[in-house]
Structure 1
């Protein structure tokens, strides 16, 4: 019972914190990735953004080759099903096979949570918030 309550509280906290963390990006139609060189998030080109809950979907004209040389790859992407445009099951499979690449957008957008962005070679891209190692993941 205690474990169920704890997991429920954590899920609520994640959703609430994720929505708050994405609010700024939605308002400005801005997506940022963390630079390998500086360690700081930088705005990338993003078009046709839609956002719902803790998810955002968009397109970028930037090449995957440029992105992987410039921005930090996220080692443990774990998109979860949500109410938005992101198909978590498909995206997980594509990340596992290398069809899409996950990048660190911003670390600790809320306590224990990172913003992650996955990008396909054709420019389709998805952003979400997930628990990080500080949250026990």
Structure 2
């Protein structure tokens, strides 16, 4: 009888720990960013940062990790103009956002990048040690921002 109680206690503790880990990963650390002070910037071909037109900006971030930043926006800039003016980002891999941040669909952005329906640009090199800010813009003007580990850390 005491073995069943002991096993049941382990199951209950594991369930509580699982729920706590899920909550911490998906909700606890993320905060909405005050976008009134935010700008979407891209790196010009010459190397300096330049803000672009970014309407309907929404962003989340967390202090627990430099790669938790995600943002969505719309822009009136064409892909042709952006590609002639700003530095492209090779190897862009959008990171999945929490499901409740509905505007950011990493799978859709990734597929659009693969098929050429979106282009990725360098937002800022080394926004944190070994982490770049990447900005992807789709043909329809939707834009997405995330932080991605760069070659400095991948080595």
TM-score in terms of structure 2 length: 0.69
In the alignment, the residues of structure 2 paired with residue 90 and residue 59 of structure 1 have an alpha-carbon distance, to the nearest angstrom, of 16
In the alignment, the residues of structure 1 paired with residue 84 and residue 148 of structure 2 have an alpha-carbon distance, to the nearest angstrom, of 23
- 1:72 is aligned to 87
Higher relative contact order (CA 8 A, sep 6+): 1
The structure having more radius of gyration, on CA atoms, is: 2
SS in 1 for 2:93: coil
What does the per-residue CA deviation read over 1:92-131, in whole Å, with 9 as the maximum and x for residues that have no partner? 1110110110000000000010000000122100000010
Over 3 Å counting, the alpha-carbon distance change for 1:41 and 1:82 in structure 2 is same
- 1:45 is aligned to 53
- Residues 1-137 of structure 1 aligned to structure 2 (within 5 Å): 26-36=35-45, 38-53=46-61, 54-83=69-98, 84=101, 85-136=103-154
Deviation of 1:27 (Å): 4.4
CA contact (8 A) 1:55 1:126 kept: yes
In the alignment, the residues of structure 2 paired with residue 73 and residue 26 of structure 1 have an alpha-carbon distance, to the nearest angstrom, of 25
SS in 1 for 2:94: coil
In the alignment, the residues of structure 2 paired with residue 113 and residue 66 of structure 1 have an alpha-carbon distance, to the nearest angstrom, of 26
TM-score in terms of structure 1 length: 0.78
SS in 1 for 2:104: coil
Deviation of 1:71 (Å): 0.2
Which structure 1 residue ranges, 5 or more long, are not aligned? Answer: 1-11
- 1:4 is aligned to none
